[in-house]
Amino acid sequence: MLQPIIAGVIGALTGFASSFALVIAGLLAVGASPAEAASGLLALCIGQALLAGLLSWRFRLPLSFAWSTPGAALLVAAEGTTGSYGAAIGAFIVCGLLILVSGLWPWLGRTMTRIPMPLAGAMLAGILFPICIAPVTAVIEQPLLAAPVIVVWLLLVRWLPRWAVPAAMLVAIIGVVVSAGDDWMTGASLAPALTLTMPALDPLVIVSLGLPLYIVTMAGQNVPGFAVLSTLGYREVPARTMLAASGAATALTAPFGGYALNLAAITAALMAGPDSHPDPARRWVAPVAGGVTYVLLGLGAGVATALVAAAPPILIIAVAGLALLSAFATGLVSAFEAPETRLTAAVTLIVVASGVVVFGIGSAFWGLLVGALVMLVTRPRPATASPAPASPVEE
């Protein structure tokens, strides 16, 4: 059992190190205090550990879960759309309930997976675009801190791609600690704790944050998660149970800051693949070990939040941008693959990336709405049958 345990630990370390800073930055962006952001990170770690452990053990399949990294990017992009963290919590609960219903009601799940790729891909790329350009901005604003991060990332992308982003994050943390000295710990609560926040249902926040978070999580995380499992030979998975369970876990952890839980994609490839164990029947141990590792990492959420709060914001977003470049490229490819819908994709991406807020509703919603309108207007008309040529007799 040692091999799948090692695979689970490595998968958890990779997944956590690659995006924990983005999770904290996203929660802070929608109004969380540092203590509430640390609570959210801990709640997400516990939630995905329980999902992976219980479902993998129950079905004897390598079913791994994660927080929604594109969803965290959406939270960062949604900064300013809500002044109430309680309203954001309400949007998280709505997102979780929609995922739950998607598992219980097959029609909704099928509908979400059939969102036109130009719209889904362009919305994802538009959300990630401001974050993916952050490395460029960081080199200009914080050259001494950002340049080593990018150099390390680039070298490891060539030689050890799996560790490129975690190594870049480690270099960023070292830079923050060295530059801040002991000040980064001042006033920080380093003890792990779950902080309950009462939700508030604000229709505008639900539309601008909750619905896009649901769509991004389904299209950007759950669909690829199922695809990874299918590619690795796991075609008979309890899809509805997995969706319903992740939705219920999201709704339950939301009051503590758990904004979205979903199937893992990148770490799933490690935990469910041959690197985990040659025997597919033994690979279910990897997500269980990964879940335990996530809980242990989550206990350091207070320290992680203190580091993020002490770092220049652009540095944290820059590391997240490096981690999300692959997802950004995937969104672009799926958005612009079909020539006949490239205008629709371009309009959707531009509106989402603009960050506009209209009537208190963020750009992700408006991008989808405008993109759908453009797709409807520019959709090719069905060809009408031309009249048959007259026969010589009729002439």
What is the tens place of the pLDDT at every residue in 151-195? 999 999 988 887 888 899 899 989 888 877 666 666 556 677 899
pLDDT digits (tens, 9 = 90+) for 231-268: 788 878 888 999 999 999 999 999 999 999 999 977 88
| Token pair recorded at residue 378 | 């520019």
In the predicted structure, residue 364 carries a pLDDT above the cut 80: yes
Over the chain, what is the mean pLDDT? 87
Name the pLDDT band for 10 (thresholds 50, 70, 90): confident
Q: Which helix (H) or strand (E) holds 65?
A: strand 65-67
**Which residues are paired to 262 by β-bridges?**
66
pLDDT at 368: 87
Angle between the 363-378 and 342-354 helix axes, to the nearest 10 degrees? 160
Distance CA 375, CA 123 (A): 14
pLDDT at 112: 63
pLDDT digits (tens, 9 = 90+) for 299-353: 988 888 888 888 888 888 888 888 888 888 888 998 899 899 999 999 999 999 9
Name the pLDDT band for 290 (thresholds 50, 70, 90): very high
pLDDT at 394: 38
**Which residues are paired to 358 by β-bridges?**
361
Is-contact 301 150, C-beta < 8 A?
no
Distance CA 95, CA 247 (A): 8
Cα angle 240-243-248, degrees, rounded to a multiple of 5:
120
Residue type, 3: Q
Reported pTM:
0.84
Lowest mean pLDDT, pick from 61-65, 99-103, 172-176: 172-176
DSSP state letter for 379? S
Is-contact 216 70, C-beta < 8 A?
yes
Average pLDDT rounded to a whole number, residues 18-41: 92
Is-contact 67 19, C-beta < 8 A?
yes
Is-contact 62 56, C-beta < 8 A?
yes
pLDDT at 392: 36
pLDDT at 382: 63
Q: Is the dihedral of CA 109, 68, 363, 124 positive or negative?
A: negative
**Could you tell me if residue 197 is left (phi over 0), alpha (psi between -120 and 50 degrees) or otherwise beta?**
beta
Distance CA 192, CA 84 (A): 23
- The residue length of the chain stands at 395
* 354 compared with 191, residue with greater pLDDT: 354
